[in-house]
Structure 1
Amino acid sequence: MDFNLPRLIGDYILGPRIEQGSFVTVWRAKHQSSGLEVVIKEIDKKLFSPKVSDSLLTEISTLSTINHPNIIRLFEFIETEGRIFLVLEYCDGGDLAGYIRRHGKVTEVVARHFMRQLAAGLQALQEKTSYS
C-alpha cells in the first residue's frame, strides 16, 4: 500500500482532519477538478441501529434539496457498506459556537443578527419538511 497517495472520497481529495467524534470524523477536502473546498463528514453506519440509519437517510434527502444562505449546503452524499460521507459547504468562519468561543459575550445587536439568521434557516427547513 502506498501511503503517499491521497485518500479519495468520490471526486474529493481528503485533507486534514478537523474533528473526531464517536460516530463522525470531519475532514477538510477539495474537489479534484474544480478545487472547491468542502467539508466531508464521515459517518460510521455500523454504530447505528437500522432505525437511526433510516432517519439519517431521510434527513440527508431533505437537506440535499435545500439551498438557503443560513443553512450549510449539502452538495452530495456518498454511501458505502459501512459509511456515509456527507460533502458539505466549507465555511471558513466556523460555526456559531466557535464564534462565541473566540469573541466571548456578544452584544445585543450581534445576538439579534444571529437570531434572525437562525429563524430564517429554521423557517426554510420547516417549510421544506411540511411540504414534503
Structure 2
Amino acid sequence: MGGEDKKDETINLDPKTEAVFKKKGYELQKKLAEGAFGQVYKAKNTKTGDKVAVKVMNLDKVGEKFKEKFLPREMAALIGVKHENTCELYDIIKANHRLYIFMEFCGGGDISGYVQKNGALSEEKTCFWFTQTAQALSFMHQNLHMAHRDIKIDNILLTENQMAKLTDFGFAKICWDEKKDKMELSKTYCGTEPYECPQIVARVPYNAFAADVWAMGVVLFCMLQNKFPFHWNDKKKFIKEQKDKKYIEERLGTKLSQDCRDLHIQCWTEDEGKRITSQDLLNHPWITRKGK
C-alpha cells in the first residue's frame, strides 16, 4: 500500500490490540487513504525502523458475503503472491472485530495520482512501469494460476525509488481446475467499470486471465493519454465502442508508435481466445524495445 499523507488521523486501539502491536513491534501513525473496504494507515516497525502500510478493515461493516467469500480469498492471495513487483505482505492480525493487514510501504503513491499530478506519460516511462506490472501479473497467471480481477492504475503503487508494485488482491481468485488441468470461467462480475472487458460488461461467464489483460490495455491507455478509452457510463455505447475497431484506431490517435498502438489492439481483442496473454505481453516488440 502507499501514498502521501492525506489526513492527520490516527486510529484508537483497545489496550489488548495495542499490546499485541507493541509485542510485534508495530506502531500505527497517520491515515493515508480510505476506500470501500477499509482505511490505509502509515505505520512503523519499531524493531527494524522500516515504514509499513496497514490496511484496516472493520469486520462489522462488511457484508457476510464479503467475509465468507472475498476476505479468505484476499488472505490467500496476499500470502501466495511473492514477487518483486507486488506489495509484500508482512503480517495479518485479527483483533476486536477488525482485521489489520501489514504490508510493504510504497511511498511514491499510485500511478493514478502520479498521472493526475504530472499529466500523460511518455512511451518510455509508461513502458518501464507497464512492464513491471505485466511481470507481476504474468507471475500470478503462470505460477499461481490466479487472476487479479481488479487491474487498474490505482492498484499500481510506486516505491520511493519509483518501482511499480501491483497491489490490492481483494478480488483475486485461482481460476484453474487442477483435476481437469484447465482454466475455469468466472461468473463473479467484479472489478472497476472502465476496465471491464466486453464479456464482463455483457455479464456472461468469462476468462479472468484474459479479462486482466484487457484491463492492462486500459491501464496502458490511461498512462499514455490521462483519460479512459471507452465511454463506460453509457453501457450500450461502452459495448459498441469496445467492438468497434475503427473507433479504437481513432481513439488511439496518431502520436503513439505503431508497436504501442498494436499492443493496445492486441489487449482489446474481443475474442478471449485470440487476445494476447500476460506472458506474451512481455515478448511484444514495444516491451522488448522498452517503449522506444
TM-score by length of 1: 0.83
Corresponding residue number in structure 2 for 1:124? 139
Conserved 8 A contact 1:64-1:75:
no
Take 1:21 and 1:62, find their aligned partners in 2: how far apart are those partners? Answer: 19
Larger Rg computed on CA atoms:
2
Runs ≥4 residues deviating over 4 A = none
Structure 2 residue identity aligned to 1:117: Q
How many residues align? The count is: 127
Corresponding residue number in structure 1 for 2:41? 27
Instruction: Give the percent of matched residue pairs that are identical in Structure 1 and Structure 2.
Output: 24
Conserved 8 A contact 1:100-1:106:
yes
2:83 paired residue among 36, 54, 68 = 68
Structure with more relative contact order (C-alpha pairs < 8 Å, separation 6 or more): 1
Return the offset for 1:52: 1.0
Conserved 8 A contact 1:14-1:28:
yes
Corresponding residue number in structure 2 for 1:106? 121
Counterparts of 1:39-54 in structure 2, within 5 Å, are 39-54=53-68
Task: Provide structure 1 residue ranges, at least 5 long, that are not aligned to the other structure.
Answer: 1-5
Return the offset for 1:22: 4.1
Structure number with the higher strand fraction is 1
Return the offset for 1:32: 2.2
Q: Deviations over 1:5-60 (max 9, x none)?
A: x9546231011111123431111000122111100010111122222113222221
State the SS of the aligned residue for 2:60.
helix
Corresponding residue number in structure 2 for 1:80? 95
Task: Provide structure 2 residue ranges, at least 5 long, that are not aligned to the other structure.
Answer: 1-11, 147-173, 179-292
Take 1:30 and 1:81, find their aligned partners in 2: how far apart are those partners? Answer: 21
Return the offset for 1:106: 0.2
